[in-house]
Amino acid sequence: MGGTGTGASFKANIEALARYRFNMRTIHGVTEPETAMTLFDCPLDTPILAAPMTGTPYNMGGALTELEFITAVIQGSRLAGSIGCSGDGADPTMFDAGLKAIAGENGWGITFIKPRAHNEIVARLRRAEAAGARAVGIDIDGAGLVTMVLKGQPVSPKTVAELRKVIALTALPFVLKGIMTPDEATLAMEAGAKAIVVSNHGGRILDHSPGAAEVLPAIVEAVGTSVTVLADGGVRSGSDVLKLLALGARAVLVGRPLVVGAFGGGTDGVRTVLARMTSELRQAMILTGCQSVQRVEADILYRT
């Protein structure tokens, strides 16, 4: 489950988060911080979501099937008061498994489609709608995935016009995942995306890209509140979550720690990891004086 090439992009995620430190404040009245929020009209108890992940059975020696894995993620997320995402991969059954898991939870999930040919995307969009998914998206940074092409599932970059055409076809909130620059965040907005995920795909796509926490502030500045900005990459604790919220993310996605949760303890393992991070987040909020995840001030971060 490593990063691509030298692993520099994966490491950049972790290192960028580690560089930020908190101003500790304990002379205030915050004793019961609120982690609840609403995303795409879904009431959530925590701003920590499960990131879309496919192919983990391959990475983890087949101990779970694709369906078992994603069912644990989608169910465990719901039990933790969150919402989980499913993905799309070189084997078309990966997408099917994700949708099945989401349909099994009455649509309580968000599904991501690879940047395939227009008709292929639209077919999956319709299936996501039929499954009752609460939102849908494209991991646009999957544009260069060689494995997809080798398996006869071509993917490619998309123009704003192409994206606009797809996004206009659905009433579901549309998310573009894999945005790493302010200019592309603006283009995503122009294409009609309701939300973006600032993400380098956990460092699995392009070697030598910056960490999400490095680029997030400039992206938030570029788009303001006109799109919902989410972020992921290297989040391993509630403190990491709070850092991304302080840098302007509305909510955060977590990947690999939930693979550990799912393969170690199934649905309950996923729920446990999300509950632990939420509890750590609460603790960090008390010690920085944050009342609500809906308003996290940038000045909780220490700047030299």
Ligand X SMILES: Cc1cc2nc3c(=O)[nH]c(=O)nc-3n(C[C@H](O)[C@H](O)[C@H](O)COP(=O)(O)O)c2cc1C
- The yes or no reply on residue 95 touching ligand X (CB under 6 A) is no
| Closer of 139 and 287 to ligand X (Cβ) | 139
Cβ proximity to ligand X, 195 vs 287, nearer residue: 195
Interacting residue with ligand X among 4, 56, 71, 111 (CB under 6 A): 56
147 counts as binding ligand X under rule CB under 6 A: no
- Binders in 165-224 for ligand X, by CB under 6 A: 177, 199, 201-202, 204
Q: Quote the Cα angle for 124-127-132, to 5°.
A: 130
Instruction: Give pairs for 64-71: CB < 8 Å, separation 24+.
Output: 64/262, 64/263, 64/266, 65/97, 66/93, 66/94, 66/97, 67/97, 67/100, 67/101, 68/266, 69/97, 69/259, 69/262, 69/263, 70/97, 70/98, 70/101, 71/100, 71/101, 71/104, 71/267
Q: Could you tell me the smallest distance in angstroms from the CB atom of residue 286 to ligand X?
A: 24
CA 138 to chain centre: 11
Q: Element (H or E) spanning 274, and its range?
A: helix 256-288
Verify binding: residue 115, ligand X, rule CB under 6 A: no
Exactly one of 84, 87, 210, 266 binds ligand X (CB under 6 A); that residue is 87
Q: Is 82 in the site for ligand X (CB under 6 A)?
A: no
Measured from the CB atom, the residue of 90 and 287 that comes closer to ligand X is 90
> Residue 252, CB half-sphere, CA atoms under 13 Å: how many?
34
Amino acid (one-letter) located at 148 = M
Q: Catalytic pick from 28, 118, 201, 208?
A: 201
Site for ligand X in 26-55 (CB under 6 A): 51-55
- In the shown chain, the binding pattern of residues 244 to 283 toward ligand X, with x for contact by CB under 6 A and - for none, equals ---------xxxx---------------------------
Active site residue 28: no
Residue 70 near ligand X by CB under 6 A: no
Distance in Å, CB of 262 to ligand X, minimum = 11
- How far apart CA 11 and CA 18 sit, in angstroms, is 11
Interaction of residue 1 with ligand X, rule CB under 6 A: yes
Q: How far is the CB of 53 from ligand X (least distance, A)?
A: 4
Name residue, tokens 């930020």. Answer: 20
Given a contact cutoff of 8 angstroms between Cβ atoms, the answer to whether 234 and 200 are in contact is no
Q: How many angstroms separate the CA atoms of 197 and 249, rounded? A: 9
- Choose between 39 and 287: whose C-beta lies nearer to ligand X: 39
The packing angle between helices 212-223 and 182-190, to 10°, is 50
Size of residue set near ligand X by CB under 6 A: 27
Shorter beta-carbon distance to ligand X: residue 87 or 109 = 87
How far apart are the C-alpha atoms of 279 and 71, rounded to whole Å?
Answer: 24
Residues catalogued as catalytic: 201
What does the binding site for ligand X look like in residue numbers (CB under 6 A)? 1, 13, 51-56, 59, 87-89, 112, 139, 177, 199, 201-202, 204, 232-235, 253-256
